[in-house]
Amino acid sequence: MAGVATPLPPCSITEIPRGTPKEGVPPVVEFKGVTKTFNANTSKAFTAIRDVTFSVEDVEGHGEFVAILGPSGCGKSTVLRQIAGLAPHHPPTRGEVLLAGKPITGPGPDRGMVFQDYTSFDNRTVLDNVAFGLECRGIAQKERYELAKEWIAKVKLNPVKDAYKYPHQLSGGMRQRVAIARTLILKPRVILMDEPFGALDPATRHNMQDLLIELWREVQATVFFITHDVNEAVFLGDRCYIFSNSPGTIIHQFRISPPDRPARHIMREKSFLETVYHVREILDGLEEGKT
């Protein structure tokens, strides 16, 4: 059923009130019947996503955390890159992608992106990487360095010792902290994260998840977070979309209670494990249906 999102069985998944969307204010992000066919009208035409429809409302004082799950190749990154306004994923072949009610026309400072591969500039120090966006905005050196040091500390790096290191002198977890600081320092309205912790070991990953929740609460941005890790999606998301096999469309969406304790505690609880079990069943079913 194209474009029809259904809730999961009730189990431990709670419908949580999130406050009322601001009256007369358009959703932060809205997809209306979006289809993307790469190389359309050629013999290589390939439809990656089909009829994707969803809407993330603008709620007073609460940026939503949207986790996206789905089999490999179902079009998750395509959806994220459309929100980022990056070609060739943007523009869609059919349908509309709206940001605050307006069609997206390309990348913009209101959206920040963090990828799995560490995307810092190798020839810049941590300080200059974190301050990069402010430099592009023409902020004077003293002011941008002050703010960058604040953000280096917020992502739990050392603003004295780590600030003058180069990316090759950092661990994978440290480099992702730099990427997060570099994005959040610009206070984007929407943060797009494509498997940002995919390359990290489990303990580092838990620490990064806790850190992300802490910072997200502070900046109150809307986050779209792609992951293959069901635990991570259920822990981080207040809402989760599950995409079908290719061409991807949303086949399930549900709300989850917000994380109120550290990842390593919540992830051992019965209700959490039951939710993960249900979601995994759906994803396993999709993987089996692939062949």
Chain residues in the site for Mg ion (CB under 5 A)? 77
**Minimal distance, residue 93 CB to ligand ATP, in Å:** 12
Q: Please tell me the distance from the alpha carbon of residue 146 to that of residue 52, in angstroms, as a whole number.
A: 42
Nearest-5° angle of CA 74, CA 271, CA 224?
35
Q: Please tell me the distance from the alpha carbon of residue 286 to that of residue 164, in angstroms, as a whole number.
A: 47
Whole-Å CA distances, 80 to 17, 51, 204, 224: 26, 15, 24, 7
Q: Which of 56, 59, 69, 74 binds ligand ATP (CB under 6 A)?
A: 74
Contact in structure between 68 and 82 (CB atoms under 8 Å)? no
Q: Is 290 a binder of ligand ATP (CB under 6 A)?
A: no
Q: Which of 7, 9, 10, 88 binds ligand ATP (CB under 6 A)?
A: 88
Give the DSSP letter of residue 115.
Answer: -
- Which strand (E) or helix (H) includes residue 225? strand 222-226
Supply 273's token pair. Answer: 């494990």
Q: Is 115 a binder of ligand ATP (CB under 6 A)?
A: no
Among Mg ion, ligand ATP, none, partner that 29 touches (CB below 5 to 8 angstroms by kind): none
In the bound state with ligand ATP, the residue whose beta carbon lies nearer, of 46 and 164, is 46
Query: What character string, x for contact with ligand ATP (CB under 6 A) and - otherwise, covers 227-256?
Result: -------------------x----------
Q: Which of 35, 77, 120, 222 binds ligand ATP (CB under 6 A)?
A: 77
**Minimal distance, residue 128 CB to ligand ATP, in Å:** 30
The stretch among 56-64, 65-73, 156-164, 266-274 that binds ligand ATP (CB under 6 A) is 65-73
Supply 254's token pair. Answer: 């549900």
What's the distance, Cα to Cα, between the start and end of the chain in Å? 19
The DSSP secondary structure of 146-157, one letter per residue, reads HHHHHHHHHTT-
The stretch among 17-25, 70-78, 145-153, 168-176 that binds ligand ATP (CB under 6 A) is 70-78
> Sign of the CA dihedral 255, 115, 180, 96?
negative
Query: What character string, x for contact with ligand ATP (CB under 6 A) and - otherwise, covers 24-63?
Result: --------------x-------x-x---------------
Binding site for ligand ATP (CB under 6 A): 38, 46, 48, 70, 72-78, 88, 246
